[in-house]
Amino acid sequence: MAITPSALLAALSADHAVSGAELARRLQVTRAAVWKQIEQLRELGAPVEAAAGRGYRLAWPLEPLDAARIRDGLDAATRKRLAELSVHWRIDSTSTELLRRASTASGIEVCLAETQSAGRGRRGREWQSPLGGNLYFSLLRRFDAGMAQLSGLSLVVGTAVVAALADCGVAEVGLKWPNDVLADGRKLAGILVELGGEFLGPCHAVIGIGINLRLPAAACARIDQPAIDLASLRRGKVPSRNVLAARLIVRLVDALDRFAAQGFAAFAEAYARCDLLRGRDLRVFAAGAVHEGVGAGVDERGALIVRHGKSTTHYDSAEVSVRAA
Ligand code: BTN
């Protein structure tokens, strides 16, 4: 009989080691099949440790993503708005999946995965997606008024992520324009907003969110900027992934409805509360040049305002770094 990686993971524990023989007996496969699957889980980044002479154990307790538990965490109004909620064991990218479904989707769709084989970040970067503890989440929503009306959307998403984290007791986070979620000066979560459809007519947004809950050292080393996970931020006290996913859905559905009706203006205050660049000395990389100035908030479209002496510049798109004092 074939052994599924999720069944093997479920048979492991963080409390005690389980021997290869015991795993083989429970899963009704050979010890060689167990060993092979353990190696595959490790290659995907799962935290499976060998306990000398005693078998295998998990470096931390794993809570599998569970669509039913996520739905249980939604209020009735949000549950009604959700046309589809899918949880995958492994997928190329949750955002790529929703982009594939965009033309046929009938309403709001959410897709989550335990691991991604081709996780995508902004500006063509790869998003590290090891198995076993992080959140890889995408949401698809349609808008009637066209892509032209969606400026500031990614900042609005940032405020929803901050609110969802706060719902789970994680308050010490802020936003680095346009939408990096930082804690302790390092990246805790990333947001990728991809738009399709008409400029002035019906269109859709696929909002991809990756939150580091448990980032193994090997994955952390592959990231080209300082990164942090909730486990180190909160000394091992990591919120439930299913509860966090539910809070993300609730916060996003509400924020996107308000954004569709009122635009970015309705979020200006919420964004200002999370804005980590205001008043900071910045280096802005835009259109092949480097500009220095001081962060002065965002405008009504969500563009970054930078003060250079007495003048200001508004940047719709740029890479920003904070200059060391
Ligand atoms: C960034 O570069 O900061 C954006 C990262 C976005 C990552 C998430 S993980 C879920 C979704 N699927 C992807 O392939 N990317 C987004």
* Distance, C-alpha 23 to centroid of its chain: 33
Residue 324 has pLDDT above 80, yes or no: no
Task: Look at residue 1 in the predicted model and tell me its pLDDT.
Answer: 63
Ligand 1 site residues (CB inside 6 A) read 93-95, 116, 119-122, 125, 127, 136-138, 180, 190-192, 208-210
SS3 content of the chain, % helix, strand, coil (to 5): 35, 30, 35
Ligand 1 nearest atom to the CA of residue 189, by list position: 3
Name the closest-CA residue to atom 10, ligand 1. 136
Dist. CA 126 → ligand 1 center (Å): 8
Task: Look at residue 217 in the predicted model and tell me its pLDDT.
Answer: 83
In angstroms, the CA 70 to CA 242 distance is 5
Candidate of 87, 136, 175 to mutate for ligand 1, largest count of ligand atoms within 8 Å of Cβ: 136
Mean pLDDT of 103-131: 94
pLDDT digits (tens, 9 = 90+) for 11-63: 999 999 999 999 999 999 999 999 999 999 999 999 999 988 889 999 999 99
Active-site residues: which are they? 122, 187, 323
Is 292 in contact with 281 (CB distance < 8 Å)?
A: yes
Ligand 1 nearest atom to the CA of residue 209, by list position: 8
Residue 227 has what DSSP assignment? B
Dist. CA 129 → ligand 1 center (Å): 9
Task: Look at residue 183 in the predicted model and tell me its pLDDT.
Answer: 97
Mean pLDDT of 241-254: 98
pLDDT digits (tens, 9 = 90+) for 184-239: 999 999 999 999 999 999 999 999 999 999 988 888 888 888 999 999 999 888 99
Ligand 1 nearest atom to the CA of residue 121, by list position: 2
In the predicted model, what is the mean pLDDT of the chain?
Answer: 94
pLDDT digits (tens, 9 = 90+) for 257-271: 999 999 999 999 999
* Cα radius of gyration (the chain): 21
